[in-house]
Structures are given as C-alpha cells and as structure tokens.
Amino acid sequence: MKRQNYISAWWIFFAAFGWFLLGANFGINIYDEGIGILGAKRILAGEVPYRDFWTIYSPLWYYVLGVWIKLFGSEIFVIRLLTILLNSISICILYNTIKSQKINPYLGTLSATMFLSISPFYGRAIPLALLFIFLIIYYLLNKENSRDYIIIGVLNALLFATRHDFGIYAIASTICVATFENKLLKEKSVNKYLIYLTTLFAILSIYFLLLHKIGALGGYFEYAFRFVFEKFGAGRSLPFPNPLSAIVEESVPVGSKIYNFWLSLVFYMPFVIIGTLFYLIMKSKVEISSEGKFFVTVTFFSLIFSAQGMVRSGYEHILPSLLIITMLLTPILVKLNLTNKFYLFFLLIFFSFPPVAKKAQSLIYLYSDKSLEIKSHSSRYIKIPKAEAENYNNLIEYVKIFDRSKYLFSGVLYHEKIFINDIMLYHLANRYPATKYHELHPGQATEAGVQNEIITELKSKEPPIIVLYYDKESEKQKIIGENYLDEYIRENYLLSKIFGNYYVFRLNK
C-alpha cells in the first residue's frame, strides 16, 4: 500500500477515542484507580508524596492528574476522559511510528487498540508512561539531528518521573539500541547518544534536587525502591498464566473460560514474536543492514519491558511489552509469507473478537436493569453491577449521615493479611484519609511499625467511622503480619453495620 493512501492519523485518533469512550462509565477500580485520584487530591490539598503520604509510585502523574482535576473537576468520568485522551494519542503515535517505516500500519494499530481497551488503566500513571514510551521509540527510529537526541533524553526523564521502573527499562532499551547501531550497523552516533545521556542526567539531577528540597527524597527511595525490591514481589507476585487451567477451571461460565484462555495466550505473544524474529534473522530473512534498526529497536523495548510482566505475571503487566511488539506484526507476517486473506482474517478475529465481546457485555450490563449508578457527587454516570451498587450506595449514605468529620479510615477486616483496601471510598464519600497510609500493602501495613504509626494517627484524628473491607483474596496472601491495628480497632470501635463486603465500625465514645 502506498504511503499517501494511508488514512490520516487524525482519523485513527478519533476512532480510538470513540472506541475507548464506549462503556467507559461501567465499573470501578476501588484500589488502583483510587490511588491516582487520592494522590492527586492530597497534592491539591498541599501535601507532598513520600513526605506526607505513602506511595510506591513516581510523583509526576499525581501532579498531572491534580492539574486536570483543578481545571475540569473531580468526577470519575471526567478523570477517565484524561486516560482516554492519553491512550488515543498513544495509538496515534504507534500508527505514525509503523507508517514511518513504510509498513502497512493497520494490523498493528488495530491489535494495540483492542489490547489497550481491555485494560485502559483509568486513573493510573501507565497511559502517560505509554505515551512517553511510544514517543521515545518514534524518535529513536526517526532521529535526524542532535535536537532529536535531546528530545529523547527529555522524554526518558519525564517517563522516569512518571513511572521510574518504566524509565529504567527505557534507558536500558535505548542503550541497547545505541550499542547495536554503533557496533553492528557501524554508525558513528556515540557523540549524539552522549547528548541524550547528558540531557537525561541533567533533568534527573534537577528532579532529585526538587525531591530533596521538598523533603521527599528519602521517602522516595525508601518506598518506591527499597520497599518494592524487598517486599513487593513477595506480597504481590502472581503465577504465570496457564491456558489449560483457564479452560478446565470449575464454576466458571464457558464464555469466561474462553476469554481467560485468550488472555493466557496473549500474555506469551511478545515472546512468540521475538522468538520468530530470531528465527528469521538466523534464516537471513531479515537484513540487519537495512531493516535491523526497526526490528531490533522494537524487540529490545518489548523484551526489556516484559520485565514488568515477570514481576506480576498478569495481562495488565505484560501489556506495555505487548503493545510495543504489535508494531512487528505486519513485517513478521510479510517475512513468513502469511499475508493472504485467510491468515489476516484469522488474526483479525483473534485480536478483535474477545475485546469486542467484552465491550459488548459491558454495554449490555450498562444499559440494562442489571447495573445501577453510584450515588456520589463524584460518580455521576458511573454504573456498577446492581447488587454491588446497592451495598456501596448504602455505605456512602451511612458515612454521610453518621460521620460529620472530614476524616475516615478505609482499611481491611484483618490487617495481618492484606490484599487491597478501598481507596476510592475516600473520594466517593468526600472524606480525607485519617492517616498517611491510604494505600495499604502486604509487607507494609502488615508490619508492626506501620500499624503503630496508623494507630497513633487514628488516636490523634479520632475518625468517628472506620470502614473495613473484606476480600477473599486476602486469605491467599503469603505475607502474614501483625494484628496490633485490629486489636486497637476492636477495643475502641464497635461494629455498627455490614454492607456486603464492607464492615462499618463506629467510635466507642
């Protein structure tokens, strides 16, 4: 297909935006989505991450989201529009990257759009990080002068400040690309890559100095690095997906079995494509001298970013690697002589049908009597399954009636075993966290020291109501900690109401 016949990138952007917008008001993520929103709100209240509240994530996203909330309001649907906007821009950049290599961009763009629509990452830093990643890859493939290397350095620094793990992966990937260009392609670009490194480290130096100035640098390394290396993997790791176990899983509807089977297969797709590329190189079907820069750049980025999936081993965590590798779909098929209508139709169905079916199921729920809107000033248009909504609405109403203070503590029923707590409740009930630990983790809030900090803050703030969330997944947690916090709550608060999985305790005074 001739380059001038490609559809305009603007049409790709609007098509992706429309697709991501469909059903965006169904469902809610009480934990991950809540982390971003509450972190942004705490910053707007004058607090500083690491110094005033605990988090393992880099700070830039909280500030970006805080600006968005300041300009457009804190309704969940409005906040999700930012995610949809960022995801649509990323798809547009991916399309332009493939097209810049004079490759038909449609299969890669379509598959990336489908994959991203399943896990759009509402309220989270990943969409902004993905945008920076795709821009870095685009400039690496299309760099012409020293200015482009400066841009790559700036983008990499912004990526580090958004998601430091992704920033490290991108630095490693870029250095691998530079080594390949200089050693194998014999390009004399070492000095230009020094411009990239100088720009990167200059901005990072300013970044660390700013963290130091606001008193957050020590907490940043303690929470975002040390805690993650020492505790996060042990408390949050997931097994690698097994397609066979997804099929034979009991008490699961057939449709869900097929969908879970598909997710399990897709998890391994980056490694299959990378393995296929190595096979093609060995068979001399990929010319390193003329095609290597595109193939190797994308491969390095996908392979190194797959480290995210190795830590958590789930679909969401392999997604950055998966989205990057979609750029190789069409050229790989061309090299394998698999571009006839049968193979293309099969891939179209494989990539599109599960996400479309999932989206259709959400829309059916959304516009039926099986769903109900969450009744909060922050959740207009947001619907969740009816039974969940009724319990949640009753909980929010109860908090509003019986809790006139601005403070609330949203914890878990047993703090010796933690899976997730409901962070979104703070936002929906319009209450401020009574402690710096609104985000609870195994290996963190299960520890005696952190529990004693929380107890001290609870004694100081004396929130009239404490809401404890129970999730059966907590029973599977490997880290078993202390129960000092549970003892304090039982001694000073009385169980007042139960709304589904939520246990409401009132101060015993």
Tens-of-pLDDT digits for all 509 residues of the chain?
344 456 789 999 999 999 999 999 999 999 999 999 999 999 999 999 999 999 999 999 999 999 999 999 999 999 999 999 999 999 999 999 999 999 999 999 999 999 999 999 999 999 999 999 999 999 999 999 999 999 999 999 999 999 999 999 999 999 999 999 988 778 888 899 999 999 999 999 999 999 999 999 999 999 999 999 888 777 777 788 888 887 877 777 888 889 999 999 999 999 999 999 999 988 888 887 778 899 999 999 999 999 988 877 889 999 999 999 999 999 999 999 998 999 999 999 999 999 999 999 999 999 999 999 999 999 999 999 999 999 999 999 999 998 888 999 999 999 999 999 999 999 999 999 999 999 999 999 999 999 999 999 999 999 999 999 999 888 788 889 999 999 999 999 999 999 999 999 999 97
d(CA 54, CA 79): 22
Helix pair angle (60-72, 126-142), 10° resolution:
110
DSSP 8-state class, residue 423: S
Tokens coding 112 = 């990336």
Listed in sequence order, the residues at least 6 apart from 241 whose beta carbon sits closer than 8 Å to its beta carbon are 263, 264, 267, 313, 314, 315
Domains of the chain by residue range: 383-507
d(CA 129, CA 119): 14
Residue 4 has a pLDDT of 46
CA dihedral angle for residue 12, residue 18, residue 19, residue 23, rounded to 10 degrees: 170
Listed in sequence order, the residues at least 6 apart from 332 whose beta carbon sits closer than 8 Å to its beta carbon are 273, 276, 277, 280
373 phi and psi, to 5 degrees?
-75, 140
d(CA 212, CA 330): 47
Residue 5 has a pLDDT of 56
* H or E stretch covering 178: helix 164-183
Select from 487, 485, 466, 493 the least CA-distant residue to 418.
Answer: 485
Select from 361, 370, 427 the least CA-distant residue to 29.
Answer: 427
**Degrees, nearest 5: CA angle 402-439-70:** 75
pTM given for the model: 0.95
Residues 68-83, buried b or exposed e (16+ Cβ, 10 A)?
bbeeeebbbebbbbbb
Select from 333, 336, 331, 323 the least CA-distant residue to 101.
Answer: 331
